[in-house]
């Protein structure tokens, strides 16, 4: 126990003395809340995480009209509260005209960063929209808005579930960068080697934008398993088996999850990741636990 504590302390010291540390970008992702209670809760989460001085908060984007309006409302409220905010935008159900309109509205509100995605077609929806892939959306944002927005795109260290071959997925990622992306945020993963190899392969293709690891805190086993099945992120067997073993013991799951994800973040930062993007699920506790372990604020 003492030896582990000592080892942990040494690792944290390494992160804190890293000369790259102040160039790293830390960001937190929210989804637009659906209820008044959710809005209130998000405000409290925003203030707790905002105290950490993130580069920006990002807000996800859904396919339906009302979800889209909530993204806009959430983003403009974050901005009005004095923080940088980055809306996600997706191709699904979008036309050139409505993307142009929303870009103009964001520009008018002083928003200067967009996360550009293809999105996933909700079941029952038949209209894909005018853009088939994220590279087309990125190209359109550049065509319409020039250099007004810093554009982030999605990256998949364990590869996108629909990709026929890793090489094709990498080439498609490179195409998004060529279309005008400035940076990328990854799908979450618990295998850091997948990330390091992905970044190396990108460098070999001449892609040298910052690729920021997406970090999913572990707080709920069944929810994590469901998400991971849908998005193709692997939960390594040893993590899955431990989580199964905890059953409904939420305290044990959270303590284990904080340890595992802290160790993942330490490894990523030590080996040169340009920052961390936390999928907060609109909660502050799990992200704060990892943040404090990493001693990032001091």
264 in contact with ligand FAD (CB under 6 A): no
Q: Establish if 134 lies at the interface with ligand FAD (CB under 6 A).
A: yes
Among residues 24, 70, 79, 160, which is the contact residue for ligand FAD, using CB under 6 A?
Answer: 160
Cβ nearer to ligand FAD, comparing 117 with 269: 117
**Angle, in degrees to the nearest 10, between helices 250-270 and 285-294:** 40
CB of 113 to ligand FAD, least distance (A): 13
User: Is 221 a residue that touches ligand FAD (CB under 6 A)?
Assistant: no
Q: How far apart are the first and last CA of the chain?
A: 25
- The residues near 227 (Cβ < 8 Å, ≥ 6 apart) are 216, 233
111: its two tokens: 């928003």
**Hey, is 54 helix, strand or coil?**
coil
Cα-based distances in Å from 271 to 6, 18, 197, 263, 291 = 21, 10, 12, 12, 18
Among 17, 123, 162, 222, binds ligand FAD (CB under 6 A): 162
172 binds ligand FAD (CB under 6 A): yes
CB nearer ligand FAD, residue 253 or residue 265: 265
Task: Catalogue the long-range contacts made by 105-111 (C-beta closer than 8 Å, 24 or more residues apart).
Answer: 105/72, 106/72, 106/75, 106/149, 107/145, 107/148, 107/149, 109/75, 109/76, 109/79, 110/79, 111/75, 111/79, 111/85, 111/86, 111/87, 111/149
Backbone angles phi, psi at 273, to 5 degrees: -60, 140
Residue 177 or residue 260: which is nearer to ligand FAD going by CB? 177
Choice between 133 and 142, CB closer to ligand FAD:
133
Shortest Cβ distance from residue 120 to ligand FAD (Å)?
5
Least CB distance to ligand FAD at residue 292 (A)? 24
61 belongs to the binding site for ligand FAD (CB under 6 A): yes
Q: Which is nearer to ligand FAD, 50 or 166 (CB)?
A: 166
Size of the site for ligand FAD (CB under 6 A): 24
Binding to ligand FAD in span 189-208, by CB under 6 A: none
- 29 is a catalytic site residue: yes
Q: Which of residues 72-101 bind ligand FAD (CB under 6 A)?
A: 88, 90
For residues 268, 85, 139, 276, the Cα torsion angle rounded to the nearest 10 degrees is: 0
Q: Are 202 and 173 in contact (CB under 8 A)?
A: yes
Q: State yes or no: residue 266 binds ligand FAD (CB under 6 A).
A: no
Positions that interact with ligand FAD (CB under 6 A): 60-61, 88, 90, 115, 117-120, 133-135, 154, 160, 162-163, 168-169, 172, 175-176, 185, 187, 214
Catalytically active residues, by annotation:
29
């Amino acid at each position: 126990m003492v030896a582990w504590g000592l080892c942990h302390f040494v690792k944290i010291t390494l992160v804190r003395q890293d000369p790259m540390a102040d160039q790293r970008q830390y960001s937190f992702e929210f989804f637009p809340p659906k209820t008044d209670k959710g809005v209130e809760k998000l405000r409290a989460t925003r203030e707790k995480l905002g105290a950490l001085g993130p580069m920006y908060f990002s807000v996800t984007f859904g396919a339906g009209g009302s979800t889209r309006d909530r993204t806009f409302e959430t983003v403009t409220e974050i901005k009005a509260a004095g923080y940088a905010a980055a809306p996600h935008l997706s191709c699904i159900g979008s036309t050139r005209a409505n993307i142009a309109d929303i870009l103009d509205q964001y520009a008018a509100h002083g928003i200067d960063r967009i996360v550009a995605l293809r999105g996933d077609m909700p079941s029952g929806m038949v209209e894909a929209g005018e853009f088939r892939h994220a590279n087309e959306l990125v190209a359109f944002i550049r065509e319409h808005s020039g250099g007004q927005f810093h554009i982030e795109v999605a990256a998949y260290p364990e590869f996108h579930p629909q990709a026929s071959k890793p090489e094709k997925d990498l080439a498609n990622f490179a195409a998004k960068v060529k279309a005008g992306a400035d940076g990328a945020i990854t799908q979450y993963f618990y295998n850091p080697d997948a990330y390091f190899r992905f970044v190396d392969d990108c460098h070999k293709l001449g892609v040298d934008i910052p690729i920021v690891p997406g970090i999913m805190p572990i707080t709920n086993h069944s929810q994590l398993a469901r998400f991971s099945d849908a998005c193709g992120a692997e939960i390594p067997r040893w993590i899955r088996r431990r989580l199964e073993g905890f059953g409904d013991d939420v305290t044990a799951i959270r303590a284990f999850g904080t340890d595992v994800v802290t160790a993942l973040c330490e490894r990523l930062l030590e080996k040169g990741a340009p920052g961390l993007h936390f999928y907060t699920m609109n909660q502050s506790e799990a992200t704060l636990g990892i943040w404090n372990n990493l001693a990032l604020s001091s």
